[in-house]
Structure 1
Amino acid sequence: MDSPQVELMSALATLFECGKYSDLTIVCGTKRYSVHRAIVCSRSEFFDGACRNPFKESESGVIDLTEDDPEAVEHMVNYFYHLDYLSKSLSRRSSQRSRRNSPLSPRRPAQTRPKKFSLAMVEDPLMAMAAAAGAADGPLTPPTEDATDEMDADASTKLPDTPMADQHDENPFDALTADAEADIEKPHLVTHAKVYAIAEKYGIPGLKSLARKKFAHQIEMHFASPELPEACQEAYETTVDSDRGLRDVVIQTFRAHPEISLRKDVELAMRETPGLSFELFRMASGLPVSSL
């Protein structure tokens, strides 16, 4: 039996998926989200004000957020009903395994063994006897092509039943590379920064706190990610100076990993983001940053 919390979350998810009893529509570009005022307005100061006061949004039941980032809006709406966003999906490795094990998925045919191969690698007693006889009686006459084909066929029947075809079928290093890539979680640093900004804009403290936690966790694990420069710019350009939520995380990352400043892409981002450059300068000079 499901716990009350699981039952409640399942009910909220069902309301969002089917749109039943919805009385408000959030529009962002071509996407429309059928939501519920009781759920949305109780979580956001902006939506509460838009629906409570005599604005056109309260009369039409439509709130247009087309000027906002579509991805951030989608994550915001998902948070209202799931208390989360960017939930971890099935990994590529698991999906590959499921496709291999699925009876509906076509199995990759094993490559047939080449008809001609080097007999020198085959440990066959008969071949050893022939080699010994050749050493005693002089060099053997090279067999004809037909005789070689017969010898190849005989030798293939004497080979042990080993997965040699699978060894020729794929490179083991390719599998290692695929597994390594599957284990690397995409950081989504820019996405977390955008969600943080939209949560601040529309007064959703829970989402703002969640986005900061996700951003801090991912930047700690992926400080070498190519996303880092853009994420730093996003954090400084979409928040006010007094909002230290993401900025302190960025400064702490540079303090813990000073080698980041030597990257060319980071240097370019610093040149284009005065706020970031100024705070990094104060940090390098031993001056306080958070008190600015």
Structure 2
Amino acid sequence: MDSPMIELKSALASLFECGQYSDLTIVCGGKRYPVHRVLLATRSTFFEGACRNGFKEAETGVVDLSEDDAEAVEHMVHYFYHLDYLNKKSLSRRSSQRSNRSVSPRSSRFSRRSPPKKLNLAPVEDPLLALVAAANNSMPLTPPADEAAFQSLDASTKMPDTPMADQIEDDDLEIVQSEEELDVEGPHLVAHAKVYAIAEKYGIAGLKALARKKFADEIDLHLSSVEFPEACQEAYETTFHTDRGLRDVIIQTFRANPSLSLRPDVEMAVRETPGLAFELFRVASGLPVSS
């Protein structure tokens, strides 16, 4: 990521952290989020309408979302300023200063355990995300000019000058390992379903596409988790039957994993979710999911 893009994302994160120049407040339960109308109104059909003159929210400067899920509201607000949510690597003025820290080459063996996923931003209709995507064209790495001379060095020249150097390298290795373990620590399927629903409700196309991508990426990794049936229920109970975003992902997962129906917790979720039960019945009957 080049310096201008780091500067932009750092500035947005700083606005989120300190609330400077905010001219609107989102209230949800006991939390208040100072936000900026221009950032929300240009990326959400709901907030664009709420910020117009004549609406109560435009006059009071307060948007009360207490009826919505508090976790989903928090992720939505975080997305407006970080272009992501549930991401430990979101930039701020402090974290951006550490973004160029090198990682020990020996950490590569941990990357095979959980390969990074690249988000396809093409269908995301968010102007800031489109700007980030345009600026993030990666450049090929250039090998050292004198690579042959480097390979000819004997082992003694490659040893660290002091024991402390090796200890620092080991510390970096431990940090990378712990970060990888955190990345696969547990599922967030229910959270993604909630974010998808709130993005649809408030007309945030970029967030909706991002939530679907995260949901689809995680579902195969956490089929055996207790959160899987709950996420299926959440997705079907918070979206219209015509909205196939999460529903198609779930149906395809059941098609690819017939043994899911043998799990008692999954069976209970299907029994309690008529929409899911109906669509699985059509699949089992060889009929199209939607008539």
Q: TM-score, normalised by structure 1?
A: 0.67
Corresponding residue for residue 253 of structure 2: 253
- State the Cα distance separating 1:186 from its structure 2 match: 1.2
Q: Are the structure 2 counterparts of residues 46 and 242 from structure 1 closer, same or farther at C-alpha, using a change threshold of 3 Å?
A: same
Corresponding residue for residue 60 of structure 1: 60
CA distance in 1 between counterparts of 2:15 and 2:209 reads 25
CA distance in 2 between counterparts of 1:189 and 1:246 reads 11
Q: RMSD of aligned C-alpha atoms?
A: 2.1
Residue 256 of structure 1 aligns with an amino acid whose one-letter code is: A
- Larger Rg belongs to: 1
Q: How does 1:48-127 map to 2 (within 5 A)?
A: 48-88=48-88
> Does residue 244 in structure 1 map to residue 227 in structure 2?
no
- State the Cα distance separating 1:182 from its structure 2 match: 5.8
Corresponding residue for residue 189 of structure 1: 189
CA distance in 2 between counterparts of 1:184 and 1:11 reads 29
Corresponding residue for residue 137 of structure 1: none
SS at match of 1:7: helix
Point out the more displaced range, 234-243 or 179-188: 179-188
CA distance in 2 between counterparts of 1:75 and 1:182 reads 18
Corresponding residue for residue 277 of structure 2: 277
Corresponding residue for residue 234 of structure 1: 234
SS at match of 1:68: coil
Contact 2:53/2:59, CA 8 A, preserved across alignment:
no
Q: Are the structure 2 counterparts of residues 16 and 183 from structure 1 closer, same or farther at C-alpha, using a change threshold of 3 Å?
A: closer
Unaligned runs of at least 5 residues, structure 2: 90-177
Unaligned runs of at least 5 residues, structure 1: 90-177
Aligned residues: 204
Point out the more displaced range, 182-191 or 242-251: 182-191
Q: Are the structure 2 counterparts of residues 45 and 221 from structure 1 closer, same or farther at C-alpha, using a change threshold of 3 Å?
A: same
Corresponding residue for residue 288 of structure 1: 288
Residue 52 of structure 2 aligns with an amino acid whose one-letter code is: R
Quote the sequence identity (%).
74
Q: Are the structure 2 counterparts of residues 40 and 249 from structure 1 closer, same or farther at C-alpha, using a change threshold of 3 Å?
A: same
SS at match of 1:239: coil
- State the Cα distance separating 1:179 from its structure 2 match: 12
Q: Are the structure 2 counterparts of residues 77 and 200 from structure 1 closer, same or farther at C-alpha, using a change threshold of 3 Å?
A: same
Residue 236 of structure 1 aligns with an amino acid whose one-letter code is: Y
> Does residue 220 in structure 1 map to residue 223 in structure 2?
no
Corresponding residue for residue 21 of structure 2: 21
- State the Cα distance separating 1:16 from its structure 2 match: 1.0
SS at match of 1:34: strand
SS at match of 1:48: helix
Which structure carries more relative contact order (alpha carbon 8 Å, separation 6+)?
Answer: 2
